[in-house]
Structure 1
Amino acid sequence: MSTSITLTQASSIYAGHFLFTLVRYGLFAGVAYFIFWRWRKDRWQSRRVQQKFPEDKHLHTEVKYSLLTCLIFAAVGVGIFAARQAGYTRVYTNLADHGLGYLTFSMLALIVAHDTYFYWTHRFMHLPQVFKYVHRVHHLSHNPSPWAAFSFHPLEAIIEAGIVPLMVFIMPLHPLTLGLFMIYMMGMNVLGHLGYEPYPAGFLRSKFGRLHNTSTHHNMHHQYVKGNYGLYFNIWDRLMGTNHAKYVERFEAVTEGKQPQKQKAVQKAA
């Protein structure tokens, strides 16, 4: 196995990773924005978590920082490829080496590991001395749109990307697993920034719903800037007592088309 890559190879790999990242961002965020914020806007209005819409300048900021994030994520992809070429990672390409059962297990393990990684790095980025330099850019979106999914300061983008380089050194991962994980991550990230709640009323009373996060959950994090730190699951927030006190109440109000009285008053005054 070659232990290094040429500049031409690196450029080609970088372009490929950037294109893949840009396409999944544009596809997921773009389709969600078109359906919920444009095409079916009136139909879904009762399901908006925050009734008021952000100004266009905020959407432009989200897209600008997201494009920068795509560039950074692509660079991380090149780094992983170079590390694999040098024999440092545990990425494998032959499915028969570990079988389909392990492929499924590794995908689930990666998702659970990312959820844990995200929760604790997210808590770290909310430390006052860290927030203003790293995480503040993401919170410029007090009322996020799907375009906010990758709207990070460059330092945060590096932290967000850190889970994949970490995991490829820890456990065997197939490129298919990594690709599917990237798609799953993008879909859930856009869901968290959707601005609308697609889950049905009563979802949080189900066994699955109690353990899974919703669009309302992350939207409230943007609105109030604290609490609701989790990504995919509502496990760490429950264990650490960091769910917003009004989360369940807000979710039920949104899914039943009844906004909280406090928010209604704010909207009337706006």
Structure 2
Amino acid sequence: MAVTKAKKAPTEGAPVFFIMLRNMLIGLVSTVATTLMGAAAKGDWLIMLIYLRGKDGPDKALPSFLAPSTNGTAEHSVVDEFLEGYGMKHLHLFILMGVAGSFIIYYPVGGFWHWYYYVKRRDQAHEWKCQPNKFLTKENEAHAVMMGSFNMMLGGTLSGTIACYIVNGGYSRLYFSIWDYNIAYTVLSTMFVFMLNEFTVYWSHRIMHMPVLYKKIHKWHHRYIQPTAFTASAMHPFEFLLVQCLMAAPIFIFPLYAGSYVGVLLWTYYYGMKDHSGIIGESQWPWQQDVMFHDDHHLYFHVNFGMNTKFIDMMYGTVRKKDREYSEDIFYGFGREKTETKAQ
């Protein structure tokens, strides 16, 4: 009687080194794609362009295929002549690049992510999903794409305008050479801007959860009780622009190394996308919250307001506690005792 050999799994018997290398490469590609998706959602990938090429002026900042030739058409010359008079040369091209680039980056990455988890592995949701038994309705999925697309246009326009202004020599406190200030200042200012963003976003977010502002504005974002990557930028346009302005403000207030600013933005947007993915993910850093932290914010509404850290919530007592009751009509982040709820 012939003996049939059992088939080996694809990685069974493979050298441990190659398995580790494969996992590292998958992790790296996933991290880069997620970061780009996050930056594209807000249009702030243009800030990276400023860092890489912006110090050489608007003509160098634009890609060669987009920048007008020195001869230019009459139409381009008239438009640029008008804009250059206001210190905003190539503004229309920066905005075009900001909006188009965001869509080109965001939807292929987000679409693959959505397909891989929410379509291909939907029947295995208990293995990867924060809320395994609940999914967004088709209506809310479509609404998130529509709302997010509109806000991406706003973000691309705003970021394109800021990028154009800076590379045309407009006022900012960004510096492009790390040697313009000493290393100690660069390190400390980077840590400071990270924490400044944490506190400003925490408090702006918490204020948005006050009854009037929540019902009129922030509730637009909380219709997505089961967040996905497409819900990250799906919010009221006023709130979207407010967050963008808060994130951009430091570059006009104090000297900040452009590389540090880009790093803080990319860090913020990477974890912003992860936190809205609905996909279970553990924290890789002592100060970083896990994905469930923000997923609980959508599930329990008025709690867990922090963006990249949870210690600010711990400081103010707004971390979700298991012995407290939370719902959409229990405001201010502290919940209430479960015994009170049962007695009503």
TM-score (norm 1): 0.76
Cα distance in 2 between the residues matched to 1:110 and 1:36:
34
The answer to whether the aligner puts 1:160 opposite 2:243 as a matched pair is: yes
Q: What is the deviation of 1:179?
A: 3.5
The answer to whether the aligner puts 1:182 opposite 2:265 as a matched pair is: yes
Q: Tell me the secondary structure at the aligned position of residue 150 of structure 1.
A: coil
| 8 Å CA contact retained: 1:125, 1:135 | yes
The answer to whether the aligner puts 1:89 opposite 2:172 as a matched pair is: yes
Deviates more, 1:112-121 or 1:234-243: 112-121
Cα distance in 1 between the residues matched to 2:183 and 2:99:
28
2:110 to 19, 22, 29: 29
Alignment RMSD (CA, Å): 2.8
Instruction: Return the letter of the residue paired with 1:186.
Output: Y
2:292 to 198, 216, 223: 216
1:238 to 314, 318, 321: 314
Instruction: Return the letter of the residue paired with 2:264.
Output: F
Deviates more, 1:66-75 or 1:120-129: 66-75
Pick closer, same or farther for the CA change 1:95–1:46 going to 2, 3 Å: same
Cα distance in 2 between the residues matched to 1:126 and 1:75:
27
| 8 Å CA contact retained: 2:208, 2:218 | yes
Instruction: Return the letter of the residue paired with 2:93.
Output: S
Deviation sequence 1:206-243 (CA, Å, 0-9, x none): 9x44x321211111111121101111001110001001
| 8 Å CA contact retained: 1:91, 1:174 | yes
Bigger Rg, structure 1 or 2:
2
1:36-55 to 2 correspondence within 5 Å? 36-43=117-124, 45-50=126-131, 51-55=133-137
2:144 to 62, 76, 95: 62
Runs of at least 5 residues in structure 2 that lack an aligned partner in the other structure = 1-56, 58-83, 324-344
Q: Tell me the secondary structure at the aligned position of residue 195 of structure 1.
A: coil
| 8 Å CA contact retained: 1:24, 1:183 | no
| 8 Å CA contact retained: 1:58, 1:141 | yes
TM-score (norm 2): 0.61
Q: Tell me the secondary structure at the aligned position of residue 219 of structure 2.
A: coil
| 8 Å CA contact retained: 1:44, 1:196 | no
Partner of 1:265: none
Instruction: Return the letter of the residue paired with 1:218.
Output: H
| 8 Å CA contact retained: 2:147, 2:234 | yes
Pick closer, same or farther for the CA change 1:70–1:103 going to 2, 3 Å: farther
Which structure is richer in relative contact order (CA contacts within 8 A, separation 6 or more)?
1
Pick closer, same or farther for the CA change 1:46–1:233 going to 2, 3 Å: same
Q: What is the deviation of 1:104?
A: 5.0
1:10 to 87, 91, 104: 91
Instruction: Return the letter of the residue paired with 1:14.
Output: I
| 8 Å CA contact retained: 1:144, 1:219 | yes
Q: What is the deviation of 1:11?
A: 0.8
Q: What is the deviation of 1:119?
A: 0.5
1:98 to 160, 163, 181: 181
Cα distance in 1 between the residues matched to 2:291 and 2:316:
20
Runs of at least 5 residues in structure 1 that lack an aligned partner in the other structure = 248-270
| 8 Å CA contact retained: 1:3, 1:87 | no
| 8 Å CA contact retained: 1:146, 1:191 | yes
More helix by share: 1
Partner of 2:27: none
| 8 Å CA contact retained: 1:24, 1:186 | no
Identity of aligned residues (%): 20
Aligned length: 239
